[in-house]
Amino acid sequence: MTRPRKLAAGNWKMNGTAKAALAEVAALSAAHPDPKVDLLICPPATLIAQMNWAKKTHPLALGGQDCHAKTHGAHTGDIAAAMLADAGATYVILGHSERRADHHETDADVRAKAIAAEAAGLISVICIGETLTEREAGTTLTVVGTQLDRSVPDIATPENCVIAYEPVWAIGTGKVPTTAQIAEVHGFIRERLTARFGAAAEGFRILYGGSVKGTNAAEIFAVDDVDGALVGGASLTTADFSPIITALENA
C-alpha cells in the first residue's frame, strides 16, 4: 500500500477571533492555492463555521480540537462530533497532551471519542507522547506503545485515523527531539500499527508535533515515517506556517 498525501495540520488551541481568522484563511489560501499536501487548521470551535464559509472552494480542511464521546445530552460546555461535522469540520484532534493534563482525559476516553468521531464521519488525529520524566527514565517506547494500543480503536483505518507523535516536553518549549529520536519513535509506531492492522498500517499518516518551525521542518520531514506535522504556535500565522507547508511539499 502506498502512503496517502502528507498532512500539515495547525492546532490553534485557544487562540483566534473571527476577523483575524478570516484574514488567515484568505492569506493561507492565497499562499498555497494548489497545495501538494493536505492542509488542516483546527481553530477554536466557535470559528469553524465561519472559516468553512470563507474558504469557499479551497481544499483547506477544518477540524475540532476535541469532541465528546456521546452524540448529545446533558454535557454542559461539550461538543458532539456530529456538531463539529455540521459546522464544516472533517477532522478532530483527540487526546492532545493539554487535554490529557487539563481535563484528565485517559486513553479509554480518547478511544471512545475516536469511535464517536468515526460515527460522525470525522477523521481523528490521535495524539500520543511521553513526558520528559518518562523519556529520562528510558520508558518512551513503553509509554507511547501503551497510549497507541489503548487510544486507537479497533475500527481505526488510514482513512479515519491519523496518529500524532507529540513528545510533551517538546510542545511549546522550542525543544525538539533529535532526528534519530523521532525516527526511533515513528518507526516503532509503524511497527506497532503493522502488528495490529497488518499491511493497512502503511497507509496511516504519522505526524510529528512539538516546536516545529520553518527553520527545522525540512530536517524533521526528511525522517522516515514522518508523514507530516501537527503544529501549534507556528500555525497561527501564514508567515510562520507557510514555510512549514512548503518544506513538507518538498520533502
**Residue 130 sits in the site that holds ligand PEP (CB under 6 A):** no
Contacts of 172 (CB under 8 A, 6+ apart): 211, 232, 233
Nearer to ligand PEP, 194 or 237 (CB): 237
Q: Assign residue 244 a region: left if phi > 0, alpha if psi is -120 to 50, beta otherwise?
A: alpha
- Contact string 191-220 vs ligand PEP (x = CB under 6 A): ------------------xxxx--------
Q: Which of 51, 231, 244, 248 binds ligand PEP (CB under 6 A)?
A: 231
Query: Which range binds ligand PEP by CB under 6 A, 68-76, 134-142, 215-223, 224-232?
Result: 224-232
75 is catalytic: no
Q: Which of 63, 95, 153, 232 binds ligand PEP (CB under 6 A)?
A: 232
166 is catalytic: yes
Tell me which of 68, 96, 118, 130 is the catalytic residue.
Answer: 96
Instruction: Give the integer Cα–Cα distance in Å for 214 and 102.
Output: 29
**Least distance in angstroms from the C-beta of 88 to ligand PEP:** 21
Going from the C-alpha of 186 to that of each of 42, 82, 108, 143, the distances in angstroms are 23, 31, 22, 13
Instruction: Give the integer Cα–Cα distance in Å for 190 and 216.
Output: 23
Q: Which of 45, 230, 244, 245 binds ligand PEP (CB under 6 A)?
A: 230
- Contact string 3-32 vs ligand PEP (x = CB under 6 A): --------x---------------------
Four-residue CA torsion sign, 201, 184, 117, 20: negative
Residues in contact with ligand PEP, counted by CB under 6 A, come to a total of 13
**Least distance in angstroms from the C-beta of 70 to ligand PEP:** 25
Nearer to ligand PEP, 126 or 231 (CB): 231
Instruction: Give the integer Cα–Cα distance in Å for 228 and 156.
Output: 19
Give the angle 117-132-230 at the CA atoms, nearest 5°. 35
CB atoms within 10 A of CB 196: 14
**140-151 and 179-197 are packed helices; what angle lies between their axes, rounded to 10 degrees?**
40
Q: Point out which residues bind ligand PEP (CB under 6 A).
A: 11, 166, 171-172, 209-212, 230-234
Catalytic residues: 96, 166
